[in-house]
Structure formats: structure tokens, C-alpha cells
Amino acid sequence: MRELGNRRKKDDAHLQNTHMNKAKVSIVRAHDYDYAEIYAAVRKGIELIGGLAKIVPPGSKVFVKINHLSPPSPAEKGIVTHPVFVEAVLDLLKEVGADITVGDDIESGIGDGFQVSGFRQMCQGAGVRLTNLREAGFVETVCSGHFLEKVYLSRILLDADVIINLPKLKTHSLCVLTGGVKNMYGTIPSGHRTKFHAEYIRNEDFSQVLTDIFSAARPQLTIMDGIIAMEEEGPAAGSLRRLGVILTSQDTVAVDAVATKIIGLNPMDIHTTRYSDERGLGIGNLQNIEVVGEGIDGVTVPDFKPPSSAVNTLARRVPLFLPRFILRQISIKPSVIERRCSGCSECEKTCPVGAISVSGEAAKIDHSICIQCMCCHEVCRFNAIVPKRSIAGSTIQFLVNSLRKLRASAG
């Protein structure tokens, strides 16, 4: 079983120091995916937290973890970390003499998914290795987690001296936010990701698993692509929203907390942020985060549209006799819009419990089996599988969203 060794000790020392002081997160504006603008913004963001040289010594083996969902999609759909954003980070890393590998675990399938997204072309032009993590294999690793005692992590990640995490700021139909902590889920095998979805059905439990994996695969630097974000039912079928921000920190949890505040939600309502904070893996409490560069208030988007799952946080704030009723009403289920369905079978392949079959030209969901993990919604590139809830649940969601807007306007 693989031990994480000296890098883990350095991470623990860094986190202990972080918790003694404040985490520092920089916010820098960047309005579009223009290389020159992003390069300047990323450089400024890193300098505001102390500079790249203290994080990446010359000659370091650096693994750059992108967010590259399967099946592949073009960068303009806002589903993957934008290649131009990553290119700017790579050029800064090359300036400090880093030995760089870019990667994520993606389905092999037919064709080259990295070609579809533009990563293949970008990395070739930059002269940087681009790897599908499954090609290098995974190593059994100790994980002193809430649920997991061991986990298989990417060999490339484990062999790196420095891990740099480049998540995309997006909503998530199950976890509310897919940020820096959740992006590290892509460093384990896809079969295990499917298995954990089936075994840990509740958002709270699944988020503990995400936190377990994050505890064993902590990055030394996280830079979040929040230039074009995704609202509503992300991480693949939501609506695009221009936020025009880049968030940078050595504390991944703090990045997620600041991002959550920017989109008008409470960071501690995001289970991965709260669990990571409680377990000493980073800082999720905004009172202990120093924001440099732009102020949070200056970039907050009060009318950002959260996913349906965000309403589930209401159940924790009401009298004890109400949550079970409310949870029944506001629970969301995947529903197929047949006129949009292409019959591609991606949802059928990804369902962890076999609740989906493709009959004729459209997918069918057996709701007696469905565990509402929303994996089918996540992989559908035709927006043919959407989260739906009862009329009562939709009414509750409307009331909560209205209350949230009122609070935001009251300020």
C-alpha cells in the first residue's frame, strides 16, 4: 500500500500553519478567454498570495489536474476548464522550470476526447505532456477518511512533487457546487467513482467520500476558472453565466468557500466545504479567510441561479417534525425529455445501479431503482435528462429562492 511520504508531511505542516493564521484567497478580474488578459490575471493572482516560486521549486514534477468531464465537449460549452485558461497557467509554470503533466481520467471511447475539448492541440502547442490518467494506472493509497480506509489514486498524482488544481466554477445537481475539492474526485478510477455513487446515496455521505479522497490528494495550489461559470443544473447541462473572476489560493477549501459566497450561497451549506473545514483539511469559514485583490462584495452575483439541490439545505433550518416531509417534497428525480434524447446510451453506461435502458430512440428510467445520484444528468450533452420535483417541491424552491434574493438585496 502506497504511503504519501514527505509531500504529505509538508502538506500537513502547511495546513497546520494555515489554521493558526488565515487562509489567503486572491480574486482577480478577467472578462474573457483572451490569453494575454488571463496570463496577466493569473500571474497577479499568484503574486497576491506570495508568488509561484515558493510553491513550485525549479525542476519540480508538477501535475496539473484539469476538470474534463466525459463525454467530451467543446470548451465553449463551459463544461471543462478552458484550455486558454490552462495554457496561461502552464506558461507561468514553465517560467519557473517545472516538469509538467496535464491530465484527468476520461472515458477512452471512440475518438480523442482531449481533441474535442481543445486540450490536445493546446498542450501540443505548449510542449507539455497531456495524459489520460487511466493510461498510467492507479495505486492503492492509505486514506484515513470518514468512510474510506484506502483509495486508488492516480500514479501520476502520487509521483508529482506539486499538485496544481484547476477547477471550473460550476453548480452541481447533487452536491450544489463542483469546485476544487470535488475536482480531485477525478484522480480515482472511473469504476470506483461509479461504485461510490451507488454505495453512498445521500449527498451528505457522498460528500464525506469526496472529502476522504481530497484528504489523500490535496493540491498545493488551486486556481479556479470563474470567468464563465455555470448556474442552474450543472455540471454539464446548466446555463452559462459570465462572472469574470479567477480565484487563487494554496487552500483549496478556502477557494470553494469564497466561490460559494460569490454566487450568493452559504459556504457551510456545501458539505465538502464544511467537512473539510471540520477535519482540518482547509478553511471554509469566511471569517478566517483573507481575501486580497478584488473584494467579495464587488464581485458577488446575488441573482445567480443555484441548482435544485441547493434547496435541500432548507431542511436543516426548520423544526424537527418538518424535515422528512420537506425532503420528500423537494427531492429531485431525473426525467427524460424524449424529443431531446439522441439515444446515445451515455446515461445507460454511467448509471451505477442499472436504472436506465435505451428503448428505441429514447432513454427510460426505472424510478423504483433510481438512487437520484444524477449521474445521468451529468453526462447528458443534449440536456435530455433534467432534474424535476413535485409541484409542492417547486413551490418550496420558489419561496426559498425569493427569500434568498430578499436577504441579498437587504445586504
CA distance 38 to 260: 22
Which is more confidently placed, 332 or 26? Answer: 26
CA distance 141 to 150: 5
Q: Are 70 and 81 in contact (CB under 8 A)?
A: no
Q: C-alpha distances in angstroms, 38 versus 50, 118, 171, 337?
A: 18, 17, 22, 38
CA distance 170 to 359: 32
Q: Are 221 and 42 in contact (CB under 8 A)?
A: no
Mean pLDDT score, 384-399: 70
Which is more confidently placed, 372 or 36? Answer: 36
Which is more confidently placed, 312 or 89? Answer: 89
Phi, psi of 131 (to 5 degrees): -135, 135
Q: Helix 323-330 crosses helix 391-410 at what angle (to 10 degrees)?
A: 100
Mean pLDDT score, 319-327: 50
Q: Write down the mean pLDDT value for the chain.
A: 88
Which is more confidently placed, 331 or 379? Answer: 379
Indicate the range of 183-187, 255-259, 328-332, 373-377 predicted with least confidence: 328-332
Phi, psi of 204 (to 5 degrees): -60, -45
Q: Is 217 exposed, middle or buried (0-12, 13-18, 19+ CB in 10 A)?
A: buried
pLDDT at 233 over 60: yes
CATH 3.20.20.220 for the 5-299 domain, yes or no:
no
Beta bridge partners of residue 28, listed in sequence order: 246
Percent of the chain with pLDDT over 70: 84
CATH 1.20.1090.10 for the 308-410 domain, yes or no:
no
Nine-digit cell string for 397: 424552491
CA distance 158 to 163: 9
Q: Which pLDDT score is estimated for 321?
A: 46
Which is more confidently placed, 9 or 211? Answer: 211
pLDDT at 12 over 80: no
Percent of the chain with pLDDT over 90: 73
pLDDT tens-place string over residues 15-24: 544 445 789 9
Q: Which pLDDT score is estimated for 308?
A: 79
Q: Which pLDDT score is estimated for 17?
A: 46
Q: Which pLDDT score is estimated for 18?
A: 46
Q: Would you kindly state where each structural domain of the chain is located, as residue ranges?
A: 5-299, 308-410
Q: Which pLDDT score is estimated for 378?
A: 87
User: What is the number of H-type helices and E-type strands within the chain?
Assistant: 17, 16
pTM: 0.87
pLDDT band at 267 (very low <50, low <70, confident <90, very high): very high
Mean pLDDT score, 353-363: 91
pLDDT at 320 over 50: no
Q: Which pLDDT score is estimated for 302?
A: 87
